[in-house]
């Protein structure tokens, strides 16, 4: 027995509230769902379909073909896969809520994605970047503390810049808030503790005096919370001074954190907890990186490897 029939627009609004409130997804994730599904509803509307019950499996297939073949602004395979994943989630919701009798998107398969291993830099390269960020000015002390924290904790850049002073607990533990507001506790190594202590004592007070009072841990030159863009610029500047010869990003620190831990013998489930991954399968991508490194070393060093 179907519920009273909804318009597609009303069903979409209900679905977005569901993922935001009941599933607790992050604002950016919900907005991505909104964009993907708005494009899907526009495709359906162009064929005269305005209610969930009127959608057939052929309509989902048509939308998938449109994504793959559109001449203007063609999507990458990963973007196509993401949009089709949004569509499948929407149809599962419609079935669960009794708005349709069958899940017409269940058999829709996303394009196969090339295996992409996380990009990490070597321990020596990371040490060079961290050394390049050091200095005695308030900005240099802040930059050093930020980069040491990123490498020590594997934090996403958004998690790092969202930190408040009180989130550094007893000097050797940091409280991070990940996707969906999930909290995790991550220890700080001695280098990060020293850099953060120096920043808090010698730099943050002068930066804070330049703007309105804020609990933010990392402050910009006007006393405001450091932005994502500012964090990117700090990392790029340190990489240039270290003369790496490659581009790195905030996520390079996260990838390197995980790869270096696993190379050092850390258990994959411990690394999963430290990174805040909901699935260990995501963390296991990093084991492929370390396996590649071992294979390269073996091929180079063993007399009968090739």
Instruction: Evaluate if pTM is beyond 0.75.
Output: no
For residue 182, indicate whether it is catalytic: no
Choose, from 6, 93, 151, 286, the residue flagged as catalytic: 286
Choose, from 88, 91, 142, 254, the residue flagged as catalytic: 254
First CA to last CA distance, the chain:
66
Looking at residue 1, its pLDDT comes to 40
Q: In terms of CATH architecture, what is 123-300?
A: Orthogonal Bundle (1.10)
The secondary structure of the chain, three-state, reads CCCCCCCHHHHHHHHHHHHHHHCCCCHHHHHHHHHHHHHHHHHHHHCCCCCHHHCCHHHHHHHHHHHHHCCCCCCCHHHHHHHHHHHHHHHHHHHHCCCCCCCCCCCCCCCCCCCCCCCCCCHHHHHHHHHHCCCCCHHHHHHHHHHHHHHHHCCCHHHHHCCEHHHEECCCEEEEECHHHCEEEEECCHHHHHHHHHHHHHCHHHHHCCCCCCCECCECCCCCECCHHHHHHHHHHHHHHCCCCCCCCHHHHHHHHHHHHHHCCCCHHHHHHHHCCCCHHHHHHHHHHHHHHHHHHHHHHCCCCC
Looking at residue 247, its pLDDT comes to 85
Choose, from 156, 193, 204, 255, the residue flagged as catalytic: 156
Which residues lie below 8 Å from residue 118, measured CB to CB, with a gap of 6+?
255, 258, 259, 285, 286, 289
Q: Structure tokens of 149?
A: 């924290």
Domain limits, the chain: 8-96, 123-300
Choose, from 14, 119, 179, 184, the residue flagged as catalytic: 179
CATH code 1.10.150.130 for 8-96: yes
For residue 302, indicate whether it is catalytic: no
Choose, from 88, 91, 204, 277, the residue flagged as catalytic: 277
For residue 254, indicate whether it is catalytic: yes
pLDDT of the chain, 306 residues: tens digit per residue? 445 467 899 999 999 999 888 888 788 888 989 999 999 999 999 999 999 999 999 999 999 888 878 766 667 777 888 889 899 999 999 999 999 999 999 888 776 655 555 578 899 999 999 999 999 999 999 999 999 999 999 998 999 999 999 999 887 889 998 877 788 888 888 999 999 999 999 999 999 999 888 999 999 999 999 999 999 999 999 999 999 888 888 889 988 988 888 888 888 788 888 887 766 666 666 665 555 554 554 455 545 544
Q: Structure tokens of 277?
A: 């991954």
* 257 vs 274: CA distance, rounded Å: 10
* 219 vs 234: CA distance, rounded Å: 13
Looking at residue 305, its pLDDT comes to 45
* 37 vs 196: CA distance, rounded Å: 43
Looking at residue 151, its pLDDT comes to 94
Phi first, then psi, for residue 253 (nearest 5°) are -65, -40
For residue 119, indicate whether it is catalytic: no
For residue 156, indicate whether it is catalytic: yes
* 181 vs 184: CA distance, rounded Å: 10
Widest distance between CA atoms in the chain? 73
Looking at residue 290, its pLDDT comes to 57
Looking at residue 234, its pLDDT comes to 95
Which residues lie below 8 Å from residue 78, measured CB to CB, with a gap of 6+?
113
């Amino acid at each position: 027995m179907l519920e009273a029939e909804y318009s597609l627009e009303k069903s979409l609004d209900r679905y977005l509230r569901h993922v935001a409130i009941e599933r607790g997804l992050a604002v950016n994730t919900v907005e991505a769902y909104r964009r993907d599904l708005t494009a899907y509803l526009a495709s359906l509307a162009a064929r005269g379909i305005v209610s969930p019950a009127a959608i057939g499996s052929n309509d989902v297939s048509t939308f998938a073909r449109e994504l793959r073949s559109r001449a203007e602004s063609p999507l990458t395979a990963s973007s196509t896969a993401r949009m089709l994943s949004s569509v499948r989630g929407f149809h599962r919701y419609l079935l669960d809520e009794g708005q349709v009798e069958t899940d017409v998107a269940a058999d829709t398969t996303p394009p196969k994605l090339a295996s992409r291993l996380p990009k990490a830099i070597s321990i020596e390269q990371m040490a060079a970047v961290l050394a390049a960020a050091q200095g005695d000015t308030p900005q240099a002390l802040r930059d050093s503390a930020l980069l040491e924290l990123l490498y020590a904790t594997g934090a996403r850049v958004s998690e790092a810049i969202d930190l408040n002073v009180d989130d550094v607990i007893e000097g050797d533990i940091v409280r991070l808030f990940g996707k969906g507001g999930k909290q995790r506790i991550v220890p700080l190594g001695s280098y990060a503790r020293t850099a953060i202590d120096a920043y808090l004592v010698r730099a943050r007070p002068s930066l804070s005096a330049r703007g309105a009072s804020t609990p933010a841990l990392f402050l910009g030159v006007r006393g405001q919370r450091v932005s994502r863009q500012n964090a990117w610029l700090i990392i790029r500047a340190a990489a240039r001074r270290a003369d790496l010869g490659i581009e790195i990003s905030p996520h390079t620190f996260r990838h390197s954190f995980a790869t270096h831990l696993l190379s050092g013998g850390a258990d994959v489930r411990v690394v999963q907890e430290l990174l805040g991954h909901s699935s260990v399968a995501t963390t296991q991508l990093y084991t492929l990186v370390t396996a590649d490194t071992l294979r390269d070393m073996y091929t180079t060093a063993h007399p009968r490897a090739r």
